[in-house]
Amino acid sequence: MGVSEELLSELRVRPGSKVSLAKLDPGRTLGLDKDSSKQRLEELRAEMAELQELLFADRSRGLLIVLQGMDTSGKDGTVKNVMAGVDPHGCRVTAFKAPTDEERGHDFLWRIHRAVPPRGIVGIFNRSHYEDVLIARVRGLVPEKVWKERYALINAFESLIDEGGVTVLKFFLHISKDEQRARLQARVDDPHKHWKFNPADLKERERWHEYEKAYEDALEKCSTERAPWTIVPADKKWVRNVVVAETVVRTLRAMKLKWPKAEFDPKGVVVR
């Protein structure tokens, strides 16, 4: 059992609509259960692998998957679990960190545009250009006038990407503050996860409501017909994985990709 198109549509942010994350339950199961979700994920990964090969062969479109969320929301886990069956030759993952000196010498979208996948490739952004209206806003790294102008620039940028043949899917992995606390504590308690813990995350956690408001504005102002946001209930990892996988598979199906015609007569070829 998977997630119906009706439910997936419900999770998408309609252009121009208001978003209140506090009113959205990050613990929703969407009618799924853990065991059947694992089986469904296996089915989706198998189909995704086939569709990704077709995308690579057809080369009429590309796919960009944007993953955003609070610390510990599961961006890395989504890449690891959802994209497990995809051919690495046809998939590129970019994790955006603090900009380098060279990147700071350009406009904020310069480094992002360089990482956009070409047609035929699946690109995944683990964090993205949205950091420039999130962390840049909350930490006061740029003036308010600057980050406010970026919403329109982002929409134009994503429209350009789509016009150029790359479909954009954006997922906000929505977790609760209690779930974040549990995941951070698990990193502290497990010596094998100490490398994943950064004490600075606790300072960011103190700004939870500021980040929540910044995300709400980004979701409201930058969910468009061409590049919609999907708010994924992410307290339960198995729900998160199935929602993302279902959306990716349905998007690839809708592209109506075709195998390229052979440039030779296969009937006349015999391999000896």
Radius of gyration of the chain (CA): 20
| 125 DSSP β-pair partners | 66, 94
Q: Where are the alpha helices (DSSP H) in the chain?
A: 5-11, 34-58, 75-82, 101-104, 110-115, 135-138, 144-163, 177-189, 200-205, 208-221, 237-254
pLDDT in tens, 186-210: 999 999 999 989 898 899 999 999 9
Cα separation of 234 and 54, whole Å? 30
pLDDT in tens, 26-67: 999 999 999 999 999 999 999 999 999 999 999 999 999 999
3-state secondary structure 180-242: HHHHHHHHHHCHHHHHHCCCHHHHHHCCHHHHHHHHHHHHHHCCCCCCCEEEEECCCHHHHHH
pLDDT tens-digit profile, the chain (272 residues): 678 899 999 999 999 999 999 999 999 999 999 999 999 999 999 999 999 999 999 999 999 999 999 999 999 999 999 998 899 999 999 999 989 999 999 999 999 999 999 999 999 999 999 999 999 999 999 999 999 999 999 999 999 999 999 999 999 999 999 999 999 999 999 999 999 898 988 999 999 999 999 999 999 999 999 999 999 999 999 999 999 999 999 999 999 999 999 888 888 888 88
* Nearest CA among 86, 158, 153 for reference residue 116: 158
pTM: 0.95
- The residues, ordered by sequence, that sit 6+ positions from 235 with a Cβ below 8 Å of its Cβ are 26, 27, 175, 176, 179
In whole angstroms, what separates CA 190 from the centre of its chain?
Answer: 27
Cα separation of 152 and 248, whole Å? 26
| 171 DSSP β-pair partners | 67, 230
Cβ(138)–Cβ(203) under 8 Å? no
* Other CB atoms within 10 A of residue 241 CB: 25
Give the strand order in the sheet containing 229-233: 91-95, 122-126, 62-69, 166-174, 229-233
DSSP character at residue 262 = P
Cα separation of 237 and 74, whole Å? 8
Cα separation of 10 and 231, whole Å? 9
Q: For residue 90, what are its two tokens?
A: 């046809």
Distances (CA, A) of 256 to 6, 58, 227, 249: 21, 10, 19, 12
> If you average pLDDT over every residue of the chain, what do you get?
95
